[in-house]
Amino acid sequence: MGNRPNWNEYFMKMAELAASRSTCLRRKVGAIMVKDRQILATGYNGAPRGVTHCEKNSCLREKLKVPSGERHELCRGVHAEQNLVAQAAFHGVKTEGALVYCTNKPCVICAKILINAGVDHIYYGRGYEDEFTDQLLEDSGVNCDKLD
């Protein structure tokens, strides 16, 4: 079949497309939720609905020189995984047993949200090591794999 992507490649490309909608100035992240090879919801990181985007209002974390992964409360943006679950809830979509494809490995907060949403498996493209996130996912039985 030539260049036809397998399902994991296909869905990760869709997550990358979602990331292209991000309004974050520091890192563009996209995520999609899939069940039975059907896309249930999409998400990307950016300001909440009705709030001025960082592209227009600048990045407070950048101004304060906050290192990556620290002081998330200073960010106006909502993470892609959070927006993903919020979109599913907004539209009444059942998330139990779903797979999530995310351009970046979820942070510990997003991992907890995905666990409670009933997600079975998380696939990600890029990541940083976080032992606490890994432990929570393992304890909950949620598989998490990096796609190369």
Q: What residues are designated binding site for Zn(2+)? A: 79, 107, 110
For residue 133, what are the β-bridge partners?
A: none
Torsion, CA 114, CA 115, CA 120, CA 123, rounded to 10: 50
Binding residues: 79, 107, 110
Q: Is 129 a catalytic residue?
A: no
- Extract the tokens encoding 8: 């994991």
Task: Name the catalytic one among 81, 96, 131, 138.
Answer: 81
Distances (CA, A) of 144 to 4, 26, 124, 135: 24, 24, 8, 11
Catalytic residues: 81
